[in-house]
Amino acid sequence: MIAPVSRRGFVVGVASLSAGLWTPRLVRAASTMDFDEARHLLSRTTFGATPAEIRAFEAQDYVAAVDRLLAGVRRDAITPPPGWLDEGPAELRRQQRAARAERAEAQKKQGVDGKPLRATQPIQEQGRELRNWWIEEMLVTDQPLTERMVLFWHNHFTSSLLKVRFPPALFRQNALFRREALGNFATLLKEVARDPAMLIYLDGMRSVARQPNENFARELLELFTLGEGHYSEADIKAAARAFTGWTVDRQTGHFKTRDNAHDGGEKTFLGQSGRFDGDAIIAILLRHPRTAETIVEKLWREFVSLKPDPGEVKKLAGSFRANYEIKPLMRAILLSAQFRDPANRGGLIKSPVELIVGTVHLLGLPVPEKTQLVRMMQGLGQMPFGPPNVKGWPGSESWITTYTLMLRQQFLRRIVEATTVASMEGAMMSSPRNRRIERREQLPMRSDDSAMQMAEPTAEPRPVEGRSLRYAGDEARLGPTLSGVDSATLLRTLLPRAPIDTVDPARTPGATVAAAMVDTAYQLK
Amino acid sequence: MGRILLLIELKGGNDGLNTVIPYADAKYRELRPGIGVARDHTIQLDEKVGLHSKLEPLMDSWKAGDLAIVQGVGYPYPNRSHFRSIEIWDTASASNQTLSEGWIARAFHGATLAKGVGVDSIVVDTNALPSTGPGLRTIVMQDAENFLRQAQALKDAGGMKDGSATGNPALRHLLAVRQEINGAAKGLADKLRNAATPKEAYPQEVLLGRQLELATRVVTARVPVVAIKAALGGFDTHANQVQPHERLLGLLAVNLATLRKNLIAANLWNDVVVMTYSEFGRRVRQNASGGTDHGTAAPLFVMGGGVKGGLHGVYPSLSDLADGDLKHSVDFRSVFATVAQGCWGQQRDFGLRQPQRLGFL
């Protein structure tokens, strides 16, 4: 614990020197990035970058690079929304009933293959489409930082499909997170309190003056703003009363207020008294210093290091509280000496979504069907729109247990062994053997090994070049994102630090990628 | 020597009042007019309390005298946050105290464990906190075959002897986990490969069934672990709780009854202690949504061939409430102290000045 502190001290020293004494030309030179720093900046603000993406930032002025990252932020998704977006809950209920009837009918018949027919359930099907839609957006967006922030807010203001059971509301909540991804936290908080998915998830829609439901009020204080230890049970009760009457229209699925269900009486909340409504409670919370600190600490753990620097957090939170603009806060975090400290590189663990989206992006793999990617995310403990509870995914070290580490390695090995170099040419779509190989191209990622065993090479000559990266030697054809790059650069692209296990530097690029991806250091960012 | 503790977490805060029902108390029906369990859905245990009828599969165990119900379990200054309260339970801390080590790990402080197979505790759900600590080698595993196959593919960390990871806690954690997998895989492989499938199949509609099947294999293979942990989720019943809660109780009971039959058949029922727990009970008064909000004390179940069945502790009064909540009569740390002594012969007070000696073990 002593070494990083002294290294950090050194970096701070250099930064202050450069600001005060060095000539302007040297200032620019001093703040220019090399390959490794550009990689660090991108690995923390995207899902992982290709050599070309890193090179586009390399040799740029660091501050200009950060400003460029922040300037490009999107407020809307590129991917067109699913078709059912405007259906209200009444329509969904009707479809569920129809599907139930169909299922009952289908149980009487048998499918062609002897198994009973399975009618899809509309909610499950919409949920699947919703998750695939977001993963698609993460993969195609030109602004991955935006999606990283959407994921951050999803993990802060959690809602789960399992409880909400109304996918259009979760889509709109996701759109809200994107609109305010790097916008304004005060706006975001006010909107979240009115967000139908949140009102369903934390029972706000059922909270009435006669009997206020405390679920939302409790999490608002404990998780969304102040944090444990900064409020009393009485504050929760008062806040719960203030939010009564905010509900969801059962026909449209949109927010509405019910005045007769609102408790307009006097409340005492965090030492203040008045006839508070929900917005008044939020205003009080926004004036409390803990609210900004909670957000800064969480952003720090997401983007900088596992151990927030208390002094720096206080300082950043102090500025953040002035107007709750998120972009200047993120700018300050990315420009902080701690973020740039080389000792912090490789100091965070990739989340399952980062690991999977990042790997697919880095290898340039075509994955037309996202369902299997989502299933792997679920196995690794991070199903989008399905946080384990209102506290969200605890993240960092808890991503890695004996179970998930093995599953991660399995996923990566499978990608290395079975997906990479084939050029799908010629008439090869007919025989069952070919179809098997084709399936290999689409990431066989079942949680058992049967897909792997099926894909085991046989003695017969193969109709396609589908050889494993590891053994492909010089013929290995990397995808467009990695081809033409030398082994040393590939290693520095894939890993944030030296590999843990020995990687032979003289190996072919294909073998280097294979070795790097199954190296333990690949789990770090 | 020693018994294996099979811990079953009921996630979300089980409604104790609708599990072990104070059917004779008029207050019960007054405070729960909509969701109170009707008299004819209550299996009478004594003149005051009864089990929910969905728990009927547990009656074999009750009649055989190996099902203990510890009533009114909680702690002073109860915390009503799921995360905080389960942390308090899992680490056996006081309400105002934050500990990072699990209570099972703490129970083995300074004790010598059998070196045997490289694993001391197996978690078949996902929350490993109770057995998390430097002294216990804990493995999280949902499927034995898969675990062994994958562990083989994960080589040992050969290149990290230079200590370059010490400044990086994330990397340190990764390497420690990797080592744990390697150690455990070596020991478990032979044991589990020869384990028989449980005699009676577990219901498969909830994960708990699969978890208990794996637990049964671990026990019958005589893997020398001190604890196995499983879980059943869904107990956070804030709204329209009657049907979902009944369903959960039914699933719990059927699975526990199957477990009991399997372990009796394997002649290992005396070597296992099964205990349920949950982060809190629920408010006495139902809420306006036909559900219940986070509360305090609740009963828990302890089963096993060496368990002294019957009712233990005192059912909290429904007339003498603290801010609408039950006052606990048994501190959960007394329950843990009893288990630590009865299962592993470890004398622990878990920070209590005078742990209550409970007679169930």
Contacts of A94 by beta carbon, 8 Å cutoff, 6+ apart: none
Nearest CA in chain A to B159: A501
* pLDDT for A431 beyond 80: no
* DSSP label of A431: S
Nearest to A493 by CA among A472, A476, A469, A517: A517
The residue in chain A having the minimum alpha-carbon distance to the alpha carbon of residue B173 is: A397
Do the Cβ atoms of B238 and A213 come within 8 Å? yes
The pLDDT score that the predictor gives to residue A420 is: 41
- Beta-carbon pairs below 8 A across chains A and B: 128
SS3 A270: coil
User: Alpha helices, DSSP H only, in B110-168?
Assistant: 144-153
Read off the pTM: 0.70
The distance of A349 to chain B (nearest Cα, Å) reads: 6
Whether residue B159 and residue A499 make contact (CB cut-off 8 A), yes or no, is yes
Cβ-based contacts of A400 with chain B (< 8 Å): 173-174, 177
- Scanning every residue of chain B, which has its alpha carbon at the shortest distance from the alpha carbon of A450? B146
Which tokens sit at B178?
């990797």
Query: Is some CB atom of chain B closer than 8 A to the CB atom of A317?
Result: no
Give B234→chain A minimum CA distance, Å: 10
Task: Say whether A447 and B158 touch across the interface (CB within 8 A).
Answer: no
| Minimum distance, in Å, between the CA of residue B125 and any CA atom of chain A | 10
A 336-365: CB under 8 A from B: 343, 346-349
Over the stretch A373-391, which tens digit does the pLDDT of each residue have?
Answer: 998 898 899 999 999 889 9
pLDDT at B150: 73
Run of H or E including B289? none
- Residue among B83, B151, B153 whose CB faces A391 most closely: B83
Over range A451-467, report the average pLDDT.
30
Nearest-CA distance B242 → chain A (Å): 16
| The pLDDT of residue A353 is above 50 | yes
Report whether A198 contacts A246 (CB < 8 A): no
pLDDT at A465: 31
Contacts of B161 (CB under 8 A, 6+ apart): none
Our CA-based measurement puts residue A22 at a distance from the nearest CA of chain B, in whole angstroms, of: 31
* Test mutation, A301, A348, A398, A402, chain B, max B CBs within 10 A: A402
Closest Cα of chain B to A71: distance in Å? 31
- Of A276, A199, A273, A279, whose CA–CA distance to A241 is shortest? A276
The Cα B144–Cα B189 span in angstroms is 9
Cα A434 to Cα A422: distance, rounded to the nearest angstrom: 12
A213:B82 CB<8 A: no
Question: What Å distances lie between residue B187 and A249, A472, B177, B343, CA to CA?
Answer: 58, 35, 16, 23
Contact A502 B159 (CB under 8 A): yes
Among B146, B150, B175, beta carbon nearest to A409: B150
Q: For A203, which of B82, B157, B238 is closest by C-beta distance?
A: B238
What was the pLDDT predicted at A434?
A: 36
Nearest to B287 among A211, A228, A396 (CB): A211
Q: Do A410 and B147 touch (CB under 8 A)?
A: no
Q: Give the chain B residue nearest A349 (alpha carbons).
A: B170
A119-164 confidence digits (pLDDT tens): 567 888 999 999 999 999 999 999 999 999 999 999 999 999 988 9
Reported in sequence order, the residue ranges of B261-312 that DSSP labels E, i.e. its strands, are 272-277, 298-303, 310-312
User: Which residue in B277, B259, B275 sits closest to B217, CA to CA?
Assistant: B259
Chain B positions in Cβ-Cβ contact with residue A396 (cut-off 8 Å): 170
Q: Residue A388: its chain B contacts at CB < 8 A? A: 126
pLDDT of residue A417: 64
- The answer to whether B177 and A402 have CB atoms below 8 angstroms apart is yes
pLDDT 10s per residue in chain B (361 long)?
589 999 999 999 999 999 999 999 999 999 999 999 999 999 999 999 999 999 999 999 999 999 999 999 999 999 998 888 998 999 999 998 878 789 999 999 988 887 667 789 999 987 888 998 877 888 888 778 777 777 777 765 454 544 455 689 999 999 999 888 888 877 787 788 778 889 999 998 889 999 999 999 999 999 989 999 999 999 999 999 999 999 999 999 999 999 999 999 999 999 999 999 999 999 999 999 999 999 999 999 999 999 999 999 999 999 999 999 999 999 999 999 999 999 999 999 999 999 998 999 9
Residue B83: is it exposed, middle or buried by C-beta count within 10 angstroms (0-12/13-18/19+)?
middle
Nearest-CA distance B88 → chain A (Å): 14
Q: What is the mean pLDDT of residues A326-351?
A: 96
Task: Calculate mean pLDDT across residues A283-301.
Answer: 98
CB–CB contact B141 A203 (8 Å): no
Are the beta carbons of B293 and A215 separated by less than 8 Å? yes
Q: Is the pLDDT of residue A20 over 80?
A: no
Nearest to B293 among A214, A409, A498 (CB): A214
Q: Residue B284's closest CA among B242, B247, B312, B316?
A: B316
Q: What is the structure's pLDDT at A107?
A: 57
A38 CA to centre of own chain: 21
What angle is formed at CA A36 by the lines to CA A32 and CA A39, rounded to 5 degrees? 95
Helices (H), A380-497: 402-418, 432-441, 450-454, 487-494
pLDDT at residue A423 in the model: 31
Q: Tell me how far apart the alpha carbons of residues B312 and B308 are, in angstroms, rounded to a whole number.
A: 10
Contact B289 A213 (CB under 8 A): yes
Tell if the CB–CB gap between A401 and B142 is shorter than 8 Å.
Answer: no
- Contact call for A233 and B151, based on CB within 8 A: no
Contacts of A381 in chain B (CB under 8 A): 126
pLDDT given at position A99: 83
Q: Which residues in chain B have their CB less than 8 angstroms from residue A409's CB?
A: 150, 153-154
* Beta pairing partners, B301: B69
Q: Which residues contact A43 (CB under 8 A, 6 or more apart)?
A: A49, A496, A525
- Tell me the CA end-to-end span of chain A in Å, nearest whole number: 20
Q: Are β-strands A255-257 and B4-10 bridged in parallel, bridged antiparallel, or unpaired?
A: unpaired
Pure H helices in A336-431: 337-340, 352-363, 371-379, 402-418
- Per-residue pLDDT, A365: 81
Q: Answer whether B287 sits within 8 Å of A213, measured CB to CB.
A: yes
A474 interfaces chain B, CB cutoff of 8 Å: no
Give the integer Cα–Cα distance in Å for A124 and A126: 5
Cβ–Cβ below 8 Å for B287 and A447: no
Question: To the nearest whole angstrom, how far is the Cα of B285 from the nearest Cα of chain A?
Answer: 11
- A398: which DSSP letter? G
| A33, A59 Cβ separation under 8 angstroms | yes
**Average of per-residue pLDDT across A23-50:** 80
How is chain B split among helix, strand and coil, in percent rounded to 5? 35, 15, 50
Which of B150, B189, B200, B335 is CA-nearest to residue A452? B150
Q: Report ipTM (2 d.p.).
A: 0.82
- Residue B51 — φ and ψ, nearest 5°? -90, 150
Cβ atoms < 10 Å from Cβ of A185: 22
* Residues A266 and A275 sit within 8 Å (Cβ to Cβ): yes
Measured between alpha carbons, how far is A362 from A375 in angstroms, rounded to an integer? 20
The rounded mean pLDDT for chain A is 82
Amino acid at residue number B109: H
Rg (CA), chain B: 21
Q: What whole-number distance in Å separates Cα of residue A293 and Cα of residue A316?
A: 8
Using a pLDDT cut of 70, give the percent of chain A over it.
80
Return d(Cα A197, Cα A171) in angstroms, integer.
9
A183-192, A206-215, A428-437, B75-84 — which is least confidently predicted?
A428-437
Q: In chain A, whose CA is at the least distance from the CA of B168?
A: A347
Mark yes or no for CB contact B170/A347 under 8 Å. Answer: yes
Give the mean model confidence (pLDDT) for residues A15-25: 35
Please indicate if any CB of chain B lies within 8 Å of the CB of A453: no
On whether the CB atoms of residues B141 and A403 are closer than 8 A, the answer is yes
Please judge whether B175 and A520 are an interchain contact, meaning their C-beta atoms are less than 8 angstroms apart.
yes
Q: B96, B122, B293: which to substitute to probe chain A, counting the most A Cβ within 10 Å?
A: B293
Q: Which amino acid is at A511?
A: A
Amino acid at A311: G
Residue A20 CB neighbour total at 10 angstroms: 8
Closest approach of B293 to chain A, Cα-based (Å): 8
